[in-house]
Structure 1
Amino acid sequence: MARHIVATVDEIPPGHRRLVSVNGREIGIFNVEGEFFAVSNRCPHEGASLCKGRVVGLVEASEPGSYQYSRRGELIRCPWHGWEFDLRTGKSWCEPDRTKVRSYDLKVESGGALVEGLLQAETFPVVIEKQFVVVEV
Structure 2
Amino acid sequence: MASKQFACKASEVPADAAKIIKLGNLSLGIFRVGDGYHALLNVCPHKGAALCQGPVCGTTKQTDKAEFVYERAGELVRCAWHGWEFDIRTGEFLVDPRVKARTFPVSVESEDIFVHV
TM-score between the two structures when normalised by the length of structure 1: 0.78
**Is residue 2:112 matched to residue 1:132?**
yes
**Is residue 2:78 matched to residue 1:73?**
no
1:51 is displaced (CA, Å) by 1.2
Paired with 2:35 and 2:16, the residues of 1 have a C-alpha distance of 9
1:102 aligned partner: 102
- 1:29–1:36 contact (8 Å) kept in structure 2: yes
Judged with a 3 Å threshold, the aligned counterparts in structure 2 of structure 1 residues 16 and 45 are, in CA distance, closer, same or farther, namely: closer
SS of corresponding position for 1:58: strand
Letter of the 1:56 partner, please give it.
C
Bigger-Rg structure (1/2)? 1
- 2:18–2:53 contact (8 Å) kept in structure 1: no
1:1-137 counterparts in 2 under 5 A?
A: 1-33=2-34, 35-97=36-98, 99-110=99-110, 131-137=111-117
1:61 is displaced (CA, Å) by 3.1
Judged with a 3 Å threshold, the aligned counterparts in structure 2 of structure 1 residues 28 and 46 are, in CA distance, closer, same or farther, namely: same
SS of corresponding position for 2:44: coil
Query: What runs of 5+ residues in structure 2 fail to find an aligned partner?
Result: none
Provide the identity percentage: 37
- 1:15–1:33 contact (8 Å) kept in structure 2: no
- 2:7–2:113 contact (8 Å) kept in structure 1: yes
Query: What runs of 5+ residues in structure 1 fail to find an aligned partner?
Result: 111-130
- 2:17–2:56 contact (8 Å) kept in structure 1: no
- 2:77–2:87 contact (8 Å) kept in structure 1: yes
